[in-house]
Amino acid sequence: QRYLHTYLSLSPLQVVTPEKYEVKGSVEDCSIILTSGADPKMTVTVTLTSPSIREEEETPATPPPRDGDVTWGLTRDPEDVLDRLKCLDALAALRHAKWFQARANGLQSCVIVIRILRDLCQRVPTWSAFPCWAMELLVEKVLNSASGPLSPGDALRRVFECISSGILLPGGPGLVDPCEKNPTDTLTAMEEQHREDITSSAQFALRLLAFRQIHKVLGMDPLPQMNPRFNVRNNRKRRRDNSDGTDGFEGEGKKDKKDFDSNY
């Protein structure tokens, strides 16, 4: 906390620019928040952490226990120490960023597919339970295991095929975190129902891709048909939402399920 307050007191003197910035400190979040005064409003959050916190977690410097000592293993932090869990989360975020630069950034179509799935997680409630870190690991593993470079369309299809096969379902192999020393499954936070819903949604997305309806997966209007006589294309724009407030991809999935129930 002392370093946090020291930085807050010295930063206005070190950063002298024509633009005005508002600097705040949050001890609870172990962070410094910078907000721009001019439009567009932008906010940058800087989290304070230290690698020594992780080293203390792995190798605690505690003496051997004595007979009858019930306080052994309990270490008391100083009063002005920042939240240990928040600092560990910040260290994990740094490791994830380094992994992304080393493994995913240079892999063809990987970044594009990750952006598509991020948009899907924000747009479709069914996919909102998919952890972002687990999704990045899955895309990298799926595309890295291909025999050669894939186009964005083929890469997206391959990822949906992997999810449709049941890799997220309970009892599967899981997704081990490569940034942790101990084996850690990145899918432990997902409930069983969420895993089944995402698997079913990926299977329906594959059917849409097979029938050339990828625009429903992407949440946009279909590409206009080429006019063979005048060679004119109509303008297209991305569809944000429907009049009933339901995304087209998820709405088609519900309709497909109703049709299936009524026929059988």
| One domain, residues 158 and 255 | yes
Query: Do 107 and 140 meet the contact criterion of CB atoms below 8 Å apart?
Result: yes
The count of other CB atoms within 10 Å of the CB of residue 186 is 21
Q: What is the pLDDT along the chain (264 residues), one digit of tens a residue?
A: 677 777 666 665 455 567 777 888 888 888 888 888 778 888 888 888 888 888 766 655 445 545 444 444 445 556 667 888 888 999 999 999 999 999 999 999 999 999 999 999 999 999 999 999 999 999 999 999 999 999 999 999 999 999 999 999 998 888 999 999 999 999 999 999 999 999 999 999 999 999 999 999 999 998 887 665 555 455 555 555 554 545 566 665 655 444 434 433
Tokens of 61: 């410097």
68 within domain boundaries: no
| One domain, residues 43 and 146 | no
pTM of the model: 0.73
| One domain, residues 98 and 23 | no
Of 30, 44, 33, whose CA–CA distance to 2 is shortest? 30
| One domain, residues 112 and 42 | no
63 within domain boundaries: no
Which phi and psi (to 5°) does residue 114 adopt? -65, -40
Overall number of domains in the chain:
2
Domain assignment of residue 32, given as a range: 1-48+77-83
So what's the pLDDT on residue 258?
45
Q: Domain boundary at 83, 110, 137, which?
A: 83
64 within domain boundaries: no
| One domain, residues 24 and 122 | no
